[in-house]
């Protein structure tokens, strides 16, 4: 049997109603009695219902966070940053990983609402989501939503993310002026917002230089992991040597592409320049230190939390917040 309210009340010599008020820090009980009941409950190993307390206070102290997974270095870095800031503000995080499962994301939104979270932060899934209308349930329940890293089209909410378009424009311009002409990009689902921005940036930058970024030069990976990236890179470089610039979605993909290039007899950077949209792995991990686009994780997480708490305070103005990136030149570019 568990530790019941009745046992605590009997041990404290009060009624169950008085014990309940004391444990949930409600008015109607004098300070000495309240402290005695709470001390006895603590010694007995009893914890009051968080749901009951949040209903009483109309504040839960919880923030719901959804990310695609925590294997990806970017997502795990964002989660750590979010939790650290929330802890300083006296809040706790309820974390779930969607693993690109739309039904599960919808289910977790419903759970967040039932847990009475005070706000929700979502990094959108890295696959196409045609109808994320279930997110409107949050607004119906007066729970603020902030997107981090990207956003879903059609959902009215603030988002905080890197200036992806500007970052790829900058990287592509750098590579072009180093003599590169045949550009490839390795990334995930091309229809999600972040990747449509990358494609547009490559198209616009190269168009300004009088050439095209060909649609089939975007290598769409079924899974964003090393194995899938390596297999796609190996097949590409076995079929063509007409490539002198590759930009990848993250460090693991860059390592896969780098290894496939070397095994294909191509030299980096003499034959092919390589840039990673990630600076979350030690540069020494790769045999040749990766040139990369660094995202400012600290600023992204801080601005996300700041914007969320503005919403919690009642500011209903939606903002599109873009954070500058930094192109770090190392050894994989000419």
At 24, the pLDDT band (50, 70, 90 cuts) reads: confident
In CATH terms, the fold of domain 5-48 is 434 Repressor (Amino-terminal Domain) (1.10.260)
Residue 125, helix vs strand vs coil: coil
**Amino acid 153: pLDDT:** 92
Mean residue pLDDT of the chain comes to: 92
Number of Cα atoms under 13 Å in the Cβ half of residue 73: 16
Fold identical between 5-48 and 164-295? no
Instruction: Say what angle helices 5-12 and 16-23 make with each other, to 10 degrees.
Output: 100
Q: pTM for this one?
A: 0.85
Tokens of 213: 């970024």
Do residues 152 and 247 make contact, with C-beta atoms less than 8 angstroms apart? no
Neighbours of 63 (CB within 10 A): 28
Lowest mean pLDDT across 32-41, 212-221, 238-247, 292-301: 32-41
Q: What is the mean pLDDT of residues 80-96?
A: 97
81, pLDDT greater than 90: yes
Number of other residues whose CB lies within 10 A of the CB of residue 42: 12
In this predicted structure, the answer to whether residue 280 has a pLDDT above a threshold of 90 is yes
Dump pLDDT digits (tens) for 151-186: 999 999 999 999 999 999 999 999 999 999 999 999
Q: Are 96 and 108 in contact (CB under 8 A)?
A: yes
The pair of structure tokens assigned to 312 is 């919690």
Q: CATH code for 164-295?
A: 3.40.50.2300
Distance, in Å, from the CA atom of 311 to the CA atom of 314, rounded to the nearest integer, reads 5
Nearest partner of 83 among 113, 75, 105, 25, judged by Cα:
75
Phi/psi at 318 (5° precision) = -85, 140
- Rounded percentage of the chain residues whose pLDDT exceeds 70: 96
* Closest to 94 measured CA to CA, from 144, 59, 60: 60
Which two structure tokens, joined as six digits, stand for 157? 């909410």
What is the crossing angle of helices 193-208 and 164-177, to 10°? 40
Lowest mean pLDDT among 21-25, 206-210, 220-224, 265-269: 21-25
Residue spans per domain, the chain: 5-48, 62-162+297-324, 164-295
- Looking at 3.30.43.10, 3.40.50.2300, 3.40.50.300, 3.40.50.620, the CATH number of the domain 62-162+297-324 comes to 3.40.50.2300
pLDDT tens digits, residue range 197-244?
999 999 999 999 999 999 899 999 998 889 999 999 999 999 988 999
Q: What is the pLDDT of residue 49?
A: 61
């Amino acid at each position: 049997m568990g530790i019941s309210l009745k046992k605590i009340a009997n041990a404290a010599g009060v009624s169950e109603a008085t014990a309940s008020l004391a444990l949930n820090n409600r008015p109607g009980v004098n300070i000495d009695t309240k402290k005695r009941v709470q001390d006895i409950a603590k010694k007995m190993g009893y914890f009051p219902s968080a749901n009951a307390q949040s209903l009483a206070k109309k504040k839960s102290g919880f923030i719901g966070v959804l990310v695609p997974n925590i294997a990806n270095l970017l997502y795990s870095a964002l989660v750590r940053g979010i939790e650290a800031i929330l802890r300083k503000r006296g809040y706790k995080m309820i974390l779930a990983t969607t693993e690109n499962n739309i039904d599960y994301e919808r289910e977790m939104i419903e759970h967040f609402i039932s847990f009475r979270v005070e706000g929700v932060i979502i990094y959108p899934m890295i696959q196409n989501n045609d109808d994320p209308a279930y997110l409107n349930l949050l607004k119906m329940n007066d729970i603020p939503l902030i997107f981090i890293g990207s956003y879903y089209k059609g959902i009215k909410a603030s988002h905080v993310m890197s200036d992806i378009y500007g970052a790829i424009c900058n990287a592509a311009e750098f590579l072009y002026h180093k003599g590169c002409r045949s550009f490839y990009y390795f990334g995930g689902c091309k229809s999600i917002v972040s990747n449509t921005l990358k494609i547009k940036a490559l198209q616009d930058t190269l168009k300004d230089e009088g050439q095209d970024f060909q649609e089939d030069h975007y290598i769409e990976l079924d899974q964003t992991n090393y194995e899938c990236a390596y297999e796609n890179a190996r097949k590409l470089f076995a079929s063509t040597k007409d490539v002198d610039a590759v930009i990848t979605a993250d460090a693991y993909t860059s390592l896969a592409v780098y290894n496939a290039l070397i095994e294909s007899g191509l030299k980096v950077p003499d034959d092919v320049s390589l840039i990673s949209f990630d600076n979350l792995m030690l540069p020494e991990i790769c045999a040749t230190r990766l040139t990369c686009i660094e995202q400012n994780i600290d600023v992204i997480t801080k601005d996300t939390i700041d914007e969320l708490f503005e919403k919690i305070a009642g500011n209903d103005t939606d903002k599109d917040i873009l954070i500058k990136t930094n192109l770090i030149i190392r050894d994989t570019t000419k």
